[in-house]
Amino acid sequence: MRYIEMEMPKAGQTAVVGMSGGVDSTLTALLLKEKGIKTIGVTMSLWDGHLPEANSREPHGREACYGPGEEENIESCRKFCLEHDIPYYVIKLSEQYNKSVLEYFKNEYRAGRTPNPCIQCNRYLKFGALIDGIRMLKIDFDYFCTGHYAKIVRPERGIYGTSSRPCMIACAADITKDQTYFLYRIPSEILEKVRFPLASFKKKEVFDLAKKAGLEAAMREESQDFISGEYLDALFADKPSIPGDIIDLDGHVLGKHRGIEHYTIGQRKGLGVSVSYPVYVQAIDAKKNLIVLVPNDALNSSALIADDFVWPGGIEPIKKDSNEDYEALVKIRLAAKPVKARISRLYDKKEQNENNAAEKKDIAIKNKIPENHNTTENQKSGKWLIKFEEPQRAVTPGQSAVLYKDGIMIGGGIITKAIK
């Protein structure tokens, strides 16, 4: 399949740029302005100060997307836009952010899963509520642009035997900075008006251009976390943590945990147990309030189950009445290398067989991993089985499994279970 890269904004057109104060979005706005494009800057305001005030921020600490530091970011954007004659707006989205991102983040951790707030934010805030806010301000625009490293493409012909040619996301030129994993849940109809002007740039080129243009953003540390560490405990202070047992595969109690929301699959540091060999979190059982630790080699999985899938244009690669599988590359976390896998639609009966086989193979972990939801026997469940060509380490429920084919993102879903 061949894909056509969607054209960028042209002189005379209007582009709204989502700005964070960082080097990527700032340079994006500058490049568009220099090309004769009517450029408008917007920033979403997320911080409402409802968390207890933390210790004073370290002046050279890690930047975060959510926190009181957004006032400094907004002022930087405002100053840049004023200097370059770019209209600038701040759109308050703290209420939507609290509901769509913060509550999701807390609920997932408390359910024993590891959330990805950036994916949630991109889907519902940056490429959702923010665009709605722009339209509510009666701003007429041709494109919405951000500093993400990704490309928007369209297939030359219909995908999967259909006539549909939806906008799709392709990997960026700088694969080390590729952000398609964060963007996979954005609907194709929204992508029609979205562009990423830095798609063909390497990160070094971006910094070089920004420094040459004298942008203050080039001197700032890049955002690393979604929330500053000093506010993380405050975020979970709305409910008391429930301590419980930390066990090994044989059920032996190794220590006490301080609440399952403080742990994630693959974690080694901060476990507070004394064992003669390195141990890692393999499973988090929310129902029994248990943390299960294993040696490193027990973290590998041969497959995973995922649901809540999204596909470009809503078109699945396998027909609903087919039992075929599909070969693609899959990423199980942002920093993971894409690996070959086979994807197949999952029957509930097939899923039960997988569970039974796993229990027979290793009876010691029976009932220590949260059960999956059941639906009618032999009916398609909306779940998908992804079998790796080679075992993968620390497959984490709550994270996303994102699929790629020929450098194009073709879909993704939420991991519900790892097959050990």
Q: How far apart are CA 232 and CA 229, in angstroms?
A: 5
Q: Judge contact between 187 and 7, C-beta under 8 A.
A: no
Q: For residue 156, what pLDDT is reported?
A: 97
CA 133 to chain centre: 22
- The residue out of 206, 232, 258 marking a domain boundary is 232
- Do residue 197 and residue 342 come from a single domain? no
Q: For residue 349, what pLDDT is reported?
A: 56
CATH code, 114? 3.40.50.620
CATH code, 353? 2.40.30.10
- Do residue 215 and residue 316 come from a single domain? no
Q: For residue 62, what pLDDT is reported?
A: 47
pTM of the model: 0.88
Which pair of structure tokens corresponds to residue 2?
Answer: 């061949």
| Parent domain of 290 | 240-294
Among 178, 248, 195, 253, which Cα is nearest to 409's?
178
Q: How many domains does the chain have?
A: 3
- The residue out of 232, 258, 281 marking a domain boundary is 232
- Do residue 11 and residue 147 come from a single domain? yes
Which residues make Cβ contacts (< 8 Å) with residue 282, sequence separation at least 6?
A: 249, 265, 292, 293, 294, 298, 299, 365
Q: For residue 170, what pLDDT is reported?
A: 98
Q: What angle do CA 213, 61, 91 make, to 5 degrees?
A: 65
- Which residue reads 């009916």 in tokens? 379
Task: Measure Cα distances from 315 to 53, 318, 344 in Å.
Answer: 46, 9, 15
Torsion on CA atoms 303, 304, 310, 316, rounded to nearest 10: 40
Terminal-residue alpha carbon distance, the chain = 34
pLDDT, one tens digit for every residue, the chain (420 residues): 899 999 999 999 999 999 999 999 999 999 999 999 999 999 999 998 887 765 544 443 446 788 888 999 999 999 999 999 999 999 999 999 999 999 999 999 999 999 999 999 999 999 999 999 999 999 999 999 999 999 999 999 999 999 999 999 999 999 999 999 999 999 999 999 999 999 999 999 999 999 999 999 988 777 667 887 778 888 999 999 999 999 999 999 999 999 999 999 999 999 999 999 999 999 999 999 999 999 999 999 999 999 999 999 999 998 877 778 999 999 999 989 999 999 999 866 544 555 555 544 443 333 333 333 332 223 344 899 999 999 999 999 999 999 999 999 999 999 999 998
Radius of gyration of the chain from its Cα atoms, rounded to whole angstroms: 23
Q: Judge contact between 139 and 167, C-beta under 8 A.
A: no
- Do residue 193 and residue 317 come from a single domain? no
- Do residue 22 and residue 140 come from a single domain? yes
Indicate the pairing of strand 63-66 with strand 223-227.
parallel
Indicate the pairing of strand 194-195 with strand 143-145.
parallel
Q: How far apart are CA 267 and CA 320, in angstroms?
A: 38
- Do residue 214 and residue 358 come from a single domain? no
Q: For residue 57, what pLDDT is reported?
A: 47
Indicate the pairing of strand 408-419 with strand 168-170.
antiparallel
- Do residue 25 and residue 133 come from a single domain? yes
- The residue out of 200, 232, 264 marking a domain boundary is 232
Q: For residue 28, what pLDDT is reported?
A: 98
- Do residue 248 and residue 362 come from a single domain? no
- Do residue 363 and residue 382 come from a single domain? yes
Q: At what angle are helices 23-34 and 70-83 packed, to 10 degrees? A: 20
- Burial (Cβ within 10 Å: 0-12, 13-18, ≥19) of residue 126: buried
Q: For residue 67, what pLDDT is reported?
A: 85
Q: For residue 357, what pLDDT is reported?
A: 58
CATH code, 289? 2.30.30.280
**β strands within 232-379, DSSP E:** 244-247, 253-257, 280-285, 290-294, 300-310, 325-331, 339-347
Q: Which amino acid is at 249?
A: L
Q: Find the helix or strand (DSSP H, E) in which 47 lies.
A: none
- Do residue 226 and residue 244 come from a single domain? no
- Do residue 252 and residue 344 come from a single domain? no
Q: Find the helix or strand (DSSP H, E) in which 14 lies.
A: strand 14-18
Q: For residue 366, what pLDDT is reported?
A: 36
- Do residue 172 and residue 245 come from a single domain? no
